[in-house]
Each structure stands twice: as structure tokens, then as C-alpha cells.
């Protein structure tokens, strides 16, 4: 192939943009999309690092449509494939998938269409792709490109490791002239290096977008009857929205789902202990129904493309900032406002440390996980902008505080806790570095409990020296000392606290310690966050509801999730601009040629019925 000149490159992008508008109904490329697309059309390889919702799919879908031949997409999750294919079919793109859910006959049909050159995009599960039969098939057709989605699945350090991904370098060996693109939302340098090495992408151009998700509001609360706190959050801010709640254990998932159901929300559990068909059904309902809450362990989420998840809540502390960012990233893919809400307490830290220590993992792995947990804790105890810290963790700089996290919206009062910390640390030391927080507070408060008396701790010099703080305040002090690494949790024993090297300067009075002051009644300042669906004018609200009803009706007829018809952002624009003709409707976000033809008149009729 000839190296295209500058005009050629412009020409390529013009064609890509034409497809973007006509097929997808979008005005322009975002972030690095144009660069990736040009590179692939030119025949080069690419590694794409973009946050969730950044628009990775278009990076390979458009080149597959522009280039001759079929684009092969490797995707680790069946649900994700089905979702994408469904959406593409709605857009009039000739797409199909090959995975274990197909009957033999259906499989043969897809293969026949592939051989006949009737497909633009074919999604394939990695184990299926690696079968000799599939590779032979691919050898007989013209290939536009290979896209390796969720490429971080090659990483053995990650939670999503898929052994088959390690063998994908075979694609390069068998089809050296076909461009390849690997895509992921996992940004850390180590994973990135693994992707490059294992997929033989050393010469690929790297395209990296900012990982910021400005529409997500981050909030962290200290646990104090966590469920009630959760309920206040959901009930006041997301009374009708879809969301995901993450818990650490299956038991807690079940309990929380039941409890939410009793309070009148539709909430379903999802964890690895449920039979596969139940999981599949719950996932299907999450996609197809509106306003459903999924209560899940980390087993749920990868490849969930639902664009209008309005909140992600964590009832337990995630294991790492990477996990937290990935999980919260499932909120607000459509770019509309969304919430990330987390409640945590010292007990979370103890539980996670204990799980870690008792796991089978090797010492190196454990050390890595301990570091990750520490970073997560540090994030929770921040008094400054959380987004700045998150982005810094992923190697990005945000110059100004974001204005859209709890610490930005409401400044965090701090207090000089040097003396309190000294009392707390000496009590830990004098009681032998083996007790938990409750007992330590008994000693500080001078409680003559049976245990205190039996151990003779009423004779310690720190007995009863902490009356100036209440139990909750002492708990906060201990928690922050752990988070800052001045105390350590004995995870092999019963979660007793021990001193660390780092606490010396504070004990000796060489270092002052400022801690965050817990708010008694967390107030909500800043703009109250209603559902983004709420409109001020009743007429607008009525039209919005009617448009949603029309969407539900069409979705039911077609057997697809409502957002596949049109997403919320498109419906919002219909309310805002009230188009009267197909020509006007065509200009709105996400209205491409085919959807205009399929649904245009029906939606215009709804708008007209509401006064045009
Ligand atoms: P990712 O796979 O990176 O998480 P998606 O490919 O699912 O993200 O894209 C997220 C959303 O943004 C989708 O609804 C998609 O249609 C939309 N989108 C992507 N690129 C653009 C664009 N250039 N203009 C408008 N919307 C876009
Ligand atoms: Zn901020």
C-alpha cells in the first residue's frame, strides 16, 4: 500500500467523519478518536487508552466501515458482544457475533455471511477465535482490522485476567498485514506494558486520552449505619434512576438487595454464587428495564455498556483505587451528571487486610495489594480535591480543584490532633499492641470493664486520659492514624493495632498532625442533584415522559433495551429543541440515517402531540 500524503490523510478523515455523521448521528470526533481512526485506516497498529465512556468503540467501528473487508473484534464478554451487535444493527451496520450461545445452525449462517463478504463487523470470543477452524475461516476472507477490546485482560495482575488473551499474539503471526488495535480503560503503566509485550504491539502508536470523568461527582462518607446513609443518598438523589451498589460479600449483596426491595425499589443481587442463568437474567433486566438497581460484588460490571447508570455506590471499601475508578466509571457513560458514592470505616480496612493475608497469593503479590489498599485509604481520608488525587494516581495533572467532588463543594475542617494522636498511640503501645479500637477507647475513657480490670490496664498512665473526645471522635482518630500509616492492623490475628515506624515523630512531638474533622450532619451544598431527567417546566416534563414511553414501546417491539433506540441525551435534545421536521430531527445528537428512517416520524408525532 502506498503511504498516503497529507491530502490522502485529510481525505481519509473526511470519509471517516461522513460515516460518523450518517451512521452514528454524531457531529465530530472526541479526544483521540480521529487520530486512532486515521492510523488504523492507514494500516497501522494502535494502543488506545481511554476512560470508560470515552468512545473506544467508534475507534474500531469506523475504520472497519471505511476499510475494505470485515473488522474482527475480540471481546471477553458475551453480554458486551450482544449489546454492541444489537446497537450496530439498529444503526444499519452489518454486524454479528460468534460465541458459545449460538446454535450450530446460527453459527454456520454467520460463517456463511462472513465468507460471502456480507459482514462489516464480527465480534468473537477469544476462545472461539483461537480455534483452528475460526483462524482458517479468517484466512479466507478480506480483513479490515483486528480490535482487541478490554485488552487489560492479558494482565495477570489484574482482576480480569483471561488466559486466552495471552495467545492473541497469534493474530499478528498469522495475519501480519492486518492492522490491530488494543483498547482498555485501565491506565496504569504496568498493565500498559504488559499489553504491549503480550500482544506484540511494540510498534503500535499509543493514543491516550485524559482519564478524567468530569460528569461524575465523587463523594466519600464515614460509615455510621451505612445502609441508612445509602438509603438517604438514593432516595433523595436517585429516586427513579438506575444504579449499581457494590458490596464485598455475597451475603451482604443478598441482604442489601432484599432490604432495598422491601423499601420499594426494584433491586436485584448479582454475584458469582448465583447460578449462571439467574445472573444472566438479572443482567438482562438491568439493561432492559429502567430505574433498576443492581447490588453486586465485583463479579458484575465489566462490559456493562448501559449508558444511563446514574450512580455507583460502594457499601464496602474497594481493594484499590484502580478497582474504585473502574467501578465508579460505569456511571454516566452518556456524559450526563452521575454520582460516585462511597461509605467506609475502619472495619473495612481490617476485613480487607485479613482477606488479603489469608489468601493464597504469594508474598510479592500481597505486598502489591497492601500498597493498593493503602492508596485507597489515603484517598478516603483526603481533605483536598479528590479528582486531582485520582488523576495524579494515574499519572495525570489537573491544575485546578475540580469543583465537583465533596471536598471541593464543602471544604473540610481540620483540627490539630497531635495531642490526641499521642494519647492514642501510647495507649496502643502500653496495652501491648494487640487490641482493637473499642478496647483502646475503653482504656482512654477510663472504663473499669471486666477485661480492663483483669488485665490491670486501669493502672496504665493512659487510663482515663481521653475524656475530652467522644467514642465517635476517637474512632475517627484511630481510623485516620491507620489510613496515614501511623498504625498498622494486625491482619493475621484479630485486627489489633500496632505502631509503625512512621509514628515516631508524632509520639516524640516532632511533628504536628492535622486530621479531618468529621461532620456531624453531612450537609449537601452546591447544586442539589436531582435526576438529570427532571425538567423545570411541566410541559417539558410531560413531553419527556411521553418520549420515554414511546421509547419503551419501540424497545419492547424490537426486543432491545430502551437506550438502544435513542439514549437519554437524544431524548433531552428532543425536549429542548422540539424539532418539527425530519430534517430538524436529523440534526440532533445520536440521530443517524437509519434511526431517522425507522423512528423519526413516530417521535415527531409525540412532539407534535405535545404542542410542537
Ligand atoms: P467506551 O467503550 O470507551 O466506554 P463507548 O464506545 O461505549 O465508550 O462510548 C460511550 C458513549 O459515547 C456511547 O454512547 C457513544 O455512542 C458515545 N460517543 C462516542 N464517540 C462519540 C462522539 N464522537 N460524539 C458523540 N458521542 C460519542
Ligand atoms: Zn474536587
Digit-coded pLDDT (tens) for 78-107: 888 988 999 999 999 999 999 988 999 999
* Beta-bridge partner residues of 343: 221
State pLDDT tens for residues 220-240. Answer: 999 988 999 999 999 999 999
Exposure string over 561-585, b if 16+ CB within 10 A, otherwise e:
bbbbbbbbbbbbbbbeebbeeeeeb
The reported pLDDT for the residue numbered 444 is 96
**Under 8 Å between Cβ of 500 and 425:** no
* Beta-bridge partner residues of 235: none
In the predicted model, what is the mean pLDDT of residues 404-426?
93
The reported pLDDT for the residue numbered 528 is 46
Distance of CA 409 from the midpoint of ligand 2 (Å): 7
State pLDDT tens for residues 508-542. Answer: 999 899 998 876 644 444 444 545 557 888 889 99
pLDDT tier at 489 (50, 70, 90 boundaries)? Answer: confident
Q: What are phi and psi of 371, to 5 degrees?
A: -60, -40
Q: Is the CB of 301 under 6 A from ligand 1?
A: no
Of the options 3.30.565.10, 3.40.50.300, 3.20.20.100, 3.30.200.20, the CATH number for the domain spanning 6-208: 3.40.50.300
What is the H or E stretch that residue 169 is in?
none
Q: Give, in order, the Cα–Cα distances in Å from 151 to each of 155, 158, 195, 559.
A: 8, 11, 7, 30
Superfamily of domain 538-609: HRDC domain (1.10.150.80)
In the predicted model, what is the mean pLDDT of residues 576-603?
94
Spacing of C-alpha 389 from chain mean position? 17
Burial class (CB in 10 A: 0-12, 13-18, 19+), 43: middle
Q: Find the ligand nearest to 149 CA.
A: 1
In the predicted model, what is the mean pLDDT of residues 350-359?
85
The reported pLDDT for the residue numbered 533 is 55
* pLDDT beyond 60 at 67: yes
506-510: long-range pairs with CB below 8 Å, 24+? 506/418, 506/421, 506/422, 506/425, 507/422, 507/425, 507/426, 509/418, 509/422
Distance of CA 542 from the midpoint of ligand 2 (Å): 35
The reported pLDDT for the residue numbered 519 is 67
Residue nearest to ligand 1 atom 21, measured at CA: 55
Query: What is the rounded distance in angstroms from the CA atom of residue 340 to the CA atom of residue 218?
Result: 5
Nearest Cα to Cα of residue 464 among 487, 448, 481: 448
State pLDDT tens for residues 319-335. Answer: 899 889 989 999 999 88
The reported pLDDT for the residue numbered 263 is 95
Residue with the bigger pLDDT between 411 and 163: it is 163
Cα atoms found within 13 Å of the Cα of residue 468, Cβ hemisphere only: 8
Domains 6-208 and 414-516 share a fold: no
- What is the rounded average pLDDT for all residues in the chain? 91
Share above pLDDT 70 across residues of the chain, in percent, rounded to a whole number? 96
**Under 8 Å between Cβ of 144 and 42:** no
For residue 56, give the ligand 1 atom closest to its CA. Answer: 3
CATH T-level assignment (fold) for domain 216-408: Rossmann fold (3.40.50)
**Of 261-265, 353-357, 417-421, which range is least confident?**
353-357
The reported pLDDT for the residue numbered 37 is 97
Residue with the bigger pLDDT between 7 and 537: it is 537
Q: Is the CB of 307 under 6 A from ligand 1?
A: yes
Q: Tell me the DSSP string of 327-366.
A: HHTTS-TTSS-EEEEEEE-HHHHHHHHHHHHTSS--HHHH
pLDDT tier at 612 (50, 70, 90 boundaries)? Answer: low
* pLDDT beyond 90 at 177: yes
In the predicted model, what is the mean pLDDT of residues 488-506?
86
Q: Dihedral of CA 463/469/472/476: which sign?
A: negative
Query: Which grid cell is 312?
Result: 455507583
In the predicted model, what is the mean pLDDT of residues 356-379?
87
Helix (H, G, I), strand (E, B) or coil at 454: helix
Query: What order do you get walking across the sheet with 216-222 strand by strand?
Result: 216-222, 338-344, 311-314, 243-246, 293-296, 267-270
The reported pLDDT for the residue numbered 387 is 97
pTM exceeding the 0.85 threshold for the entire prediction: no
170-177: long-range pairs with CB below 8 Å, 24+? 170/130, 170/135, 171/129, 171/146, 172/199, 172/200, 174/135, 174/138, 174/139, 175/138, 175/139, 175/143, 175/146, 177/43
- Residues, the chain: 612
Query: What is the rounded distance in angstroms from the CA atom of residue 518 to the CA atom of residue 222?
Result: 8
Distance of CA 412 from the midpoint of ligand 2 (Å): 12
Q: Is the CB of 52 under 6 A from ligand 1?
A: yes
Domain spans in the chain, listed from the N-terminal domain onward? 6-208, 216-408, 414-516, 538-609
Nearest 10 degrees: CA dihedral of 186, 192, 195, 197?
-170
State pLDDT tens for residues 376-397. Answer: 998 999 989 999 999 988 888 8
For residue 185, give the ligand 1 atom closest to its CA. Answer: 3
In the predicted model, what is the mean pLDDT of residues 129-157?
94
The reported pLDDT for the residue numbered 532 is 53
Query: Which grid cell is 369?
Result: 495489594
* pLDDT beyond 90 at 12: no
Within 448-509, strands assigned E span 487-489, 497-499
Nearest Cα to Cα of residue 501 among 434, 439, 425, 438: 425
* pLDDT beyond 60 at 2: no
The reported pLDDT for the residue numbered 234 is 96
Spacing of C-alpha 510 from chain mean position? 42
CATH T-level assignment (fold) for domain 414-516: Arc Repressor Mutant, subunit A (1.10.10)
Q: Is the CB of 184 under 6 A from ligand 1?
A: no
Residue with the bigger pLDDT between 599 and 78: it is 599
* Beta-bridge partner residues of 96: 122
Q: Give, in order, the Cα–Cα distances in Å from 414 to each of 43, 418, 527.
A: 56, 12, 24
The reported pLDDT for the residue numbered 574 is 95
Count other Cβ atoms within 10 Å, centred on residue 128. 18
Q: Is the CB of 345 under 6 A from ligand 1?
A: no
In the predicted model, what is the mean pLDDT of residues 107-131?
96
Nearest 10 degrees: CA dihedral of 317, 320, 321, 327?
-70
Q: Find the ligand nearest to 390 CA.
A: 2
* pLDDT beyond 90 at 339: yes
Distance of CA 527 from the midpoint of ligand 2 (Å): 14
State pLDDT tens for residues 13-66. Answer: 899 999 999 999 999 999 999 999 999 999 999 999 998 888 999 999 999 999
Query: Which grid cell is 192?
Result: 500498559
Burial class (CB in 10 A: 0-12, 13-18, 19+), 352: buried
Backbone φ/ψ region at 236: left (φ over 0), alpha (ψ -120 to 50), beta:
alpha
Alpha helices in 456-610, H assignment, sequence order: 471-483, 504-507, 538-558, 562-565, 568-577, 582-586, 593-609
Q: Is the CB of 430 under 6 A from ligand 1?
A: no
* pLDDT beyond 70 at 1: no
The reported pLDDT for the residue numbered 526 is 44
Query: What is the rounded distance in angstroms from the CA atom of residue 420 to the CA atom of residue 374?
Result: 22
**Of 118-122, 150-154, 348-352, 427-431, which range is least confident?**
348-352
Residue nearest to ligand 1 atom 14, measured at CA: 334
Amino acid at each position: 500500500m502506498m503511504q498516503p500524503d497529507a491530502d490522502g490523510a485529510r481525505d481519509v478523515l473526511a470519509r471517516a467523519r461522513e460515516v460518523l455523521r450518517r451512521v452514528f448521528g454524531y457531529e465530530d470526533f472526541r479526544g483521540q478518536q480521529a487520530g486512532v481512526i486515521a492510523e488504523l485506516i492507514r494500516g497501522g497498529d494502535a494502543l488506545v487508552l481511554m476512560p470508560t465512556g470515552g468512545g473506544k468503540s467508534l475507534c474500531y467501528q469506523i475504520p472497519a466501515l471505511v476499510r475494505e473487508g470485515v473488522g474482527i473484534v475480540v471481546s471477553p464478554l458475551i453480554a458486551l458482544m450482544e449489546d454492541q451487535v444489537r446497537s450496530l444493527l439498529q444503526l444499519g451496520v452489518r454486524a454479528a457475533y460468534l460465541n458459545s450461545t449460538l446454535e450450530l445452525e446460527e453459527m454456520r449462517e454467520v460463517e456463511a455471511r462472513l465468507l460471502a463478504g456480507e459482514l462489516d463487523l464480527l465480534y468473537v470470543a477469544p476462545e472461539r477465535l483461537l480455534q483452528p477452524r475460526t483462524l482458517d475461516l479468517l484466512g479466507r476472507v478480506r480483513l479490515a482490522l483486528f480490535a482487541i477490546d478490554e485488552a487489560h485482560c492479558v494482565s495477570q495482575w489484574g482482576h480480569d485476567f483471561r488466559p486466552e488473551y495471552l495467545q492473541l499474539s497469534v493474530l499478528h503471526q498469522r495475519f501480519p498485514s492486518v492492522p490491530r488495535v488494543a483498547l482498555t480503560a485501565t491506565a496504569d503503566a504496568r498493565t500498559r506494558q504488559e499489553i504491549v509485550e503480550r500482544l506484540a504491539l511494540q510498534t503500535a502508536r499509543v493514543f491516550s486520552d485524559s482519564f478524567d470523568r468530569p460528569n461524575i461527582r465523587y463523594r466519600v462518607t464515614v460509615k455510621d449505619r451505612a445502609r441508612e446513609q445509602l438509603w438517604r443518598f438514593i432516595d433523595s438523589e436517585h429516586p427513579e434512576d438506575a444504579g449499581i451498589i457494590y458490596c464485598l460479600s455475597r451475603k451482604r449483596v443478598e441482604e442489601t438487595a432484599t432490604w432495598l426491595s422491601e423499601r420499594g425499589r426494584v433491586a436485584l443481587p448479582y454475584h458469582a454464587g448465583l447460578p449462571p442463568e439467574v445472573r444472566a437474567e438479572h443482567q438482562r433486566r438491568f439493561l432492559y428495564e429502567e430505574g433498576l438497581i443492581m447490588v453486586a460484588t465485583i463479579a458484575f460490571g465489566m462490559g456493562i455498556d448501559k449508558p444511563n447508570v446514574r450512580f455507583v455506590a460502594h457499601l464496602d471499601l474497594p481493594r484499590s483505587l484502580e478497582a474504585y475508578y473502574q467501578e465508579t466509571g460505569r456511571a454516566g457513560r452518556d456524559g450526563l451528571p452521575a454520582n460516585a458514592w462511597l461509605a467506609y470505616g475502619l472495619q473495612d480496612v481490617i476485613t480487607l487486610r485479613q482477606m488479603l493475608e489469608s489468601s493464597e497469593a504469594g508474598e510479592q503479590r500481597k505486598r502489591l495489594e497492601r500498597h493498593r489498599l493503602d492508596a485507597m485509604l489515603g484517598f478516603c481520608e483526603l481533605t483536598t480535591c479528590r479528582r486531582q488525587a485520582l488523576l495524579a494516581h494515574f499519572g495525570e495533572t489537573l491544575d485546578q480543584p475540580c469543583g465537583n467532588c465533596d471536598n471541593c463543594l464543602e471544604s473540610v475542617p481540620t483540627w490539630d490532633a497531635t495531642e490526641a494522636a499521642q494519647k492514642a498511640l501510647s495507649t496502643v503501645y502500653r496495652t501491648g499492641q494487640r487490641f482493637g479500637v473499642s478496647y483502646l477507647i475503653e482504656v482512654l475513657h477510663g472504663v473499669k470493664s471486666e477485661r480492663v480490670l483483669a488485665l490491670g490496664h486501669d493502672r496504665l498512665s493512659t487510663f482515663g486520659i481521653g475524656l475530652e473526645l467522644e467514642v465517635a471522635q476517637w474512632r475517627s482518630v484511630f481510623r485516620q492514624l491507620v489510613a496515614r500509616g501511623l498504625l498498622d492492623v494486625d491482619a493475621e490475628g484479630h485486627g489489633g493495632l500496632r505502631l509503625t515506624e512512621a509514628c515516631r515523630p508524632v509520639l516524640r512531638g516532632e511533628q504536628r498532625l492535622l486530621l479531618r474533622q468529621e461532620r456531624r450532619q453531612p450537609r449537601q451544598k452546591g447544586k442539589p442533584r436531582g435526576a438529570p431527567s427532571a425538567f423545570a417546566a411541566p410541559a417539558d416534563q410531560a413531553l419527556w415522559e411521553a418520549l420515554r414511553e414511546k421509547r419503551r414501546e419501540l424497545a419492547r417491539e424490537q426486543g432491545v433495551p430502551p437506550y438502544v433506540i435513542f439514549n437519554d441525551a437524544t431524548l433531552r435534545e428532543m425536549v429542548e429543541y422540539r424539532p418539527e421536521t425530519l430534517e430538524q430531527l436529523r440534526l440532533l445528537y445520536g440521530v443517524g440515517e437509519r434511526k431517522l428512517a425507522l423512528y423519526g416520524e413516530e417521535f415527531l408525532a409525540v412532539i407534535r402531540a405535545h404542542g410542537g
